[in-house]
Amino acid sequence: MKIIMLGAPGAGKGTQAKMIAEKYGVPHISTGDIFRANIKNGTELGMEAKKYMDQGLLVPDELTVKILLDRVANEDCKNGYVLDGFPRTIPQAEVLDKALTELGDKIDYAIDVDVPDENIVKRMGGRRACLSCGATYHIEHVPPKSEGICDKCGQELVLRDDDKPETVKNRLNVYHEQTQPLIEFYTKKGVLKAVDGTVDMKDVFAAIVEILG
């Protein structure tokens, strides 16, 4: 069962990816994590990626797919995997598709966690983070016991720059421009399934489980 998670930043796809991985016993693969692991372990692919990253450049799609295929060739992926954060663009999807086809493989499901922009701006604007211990909260859904104070270490909570409305709107614009076309790409392949991401996290997961069976 090979799954790609789609959805705007803040739609909750990472949380759902982890829950899918746990339930079905398959690895949750985030491209950021693979890059870091390859660089840390000093692999040839990792060193090649680092050259681009050190210059502030994006890692080319072909190299990203090579690193990804290297990861999914591991024994723990034999029953499938959940991809989170890749592909982000049509060219990346095409490179991945071609590489999987050459291996006699394909993506089984592309799951779109669908949340309207205004919900995301509100949702992310309510996030609060503790810069001291890394704990995260939400003023509506997971509030701290004392307003503005971290339950774990007592430090002040902040609204990260990433979560400020103007930043979120910029990220959403990039998403609509670059990533949303993937919805049509995977619809044409007959593997796209959309779930309503505005409902409770458990209900989103229940809808996904119904799709995956």
127 is catalytic: yes
Residue 19 makes CB contacts below 8 A (sequence gap 6+) with 205, 208
The full length of the chain comes to: 213
In this structure, what token pair is assigned to residue 94?
């095409």
51 is catalytic: no
Q: Cα separation of 111 and 129, whole Å? A: 28
**Active-site annotation holder among 160, 169, 188, 189:** 160
**Active-site annotation holder among 2, 71, 123, 127:** 127
For the purposes of burial, counting CB atoms within 10 Å of the CB of 134, is it exposed (0-12), middle (13-18) or buried (19 or more)? exposed
**Active-site annotation holder among 2, 66, 71, 88:** 88
CA proximity to 58, closest of 79, 83, 29, 89: 89
**Active-site annotation holder among 13, 71, 123, 128:** 13
71 is catalytic: no
Helices and strands counted in the chain (H then E)? 9, 8
Q: What is the DSSP string of 1-60?
A: -EEEEE--TTSSHHHHHHHHHHHHT--EEEHHHHHHHHHHTT-HHHHHHHHHHHTTPPPP
Which of helix, strand or coil describes residue 74? Answer: coil
Residues with a catalytic annotation lie at 13, 88, 127, 160, 171
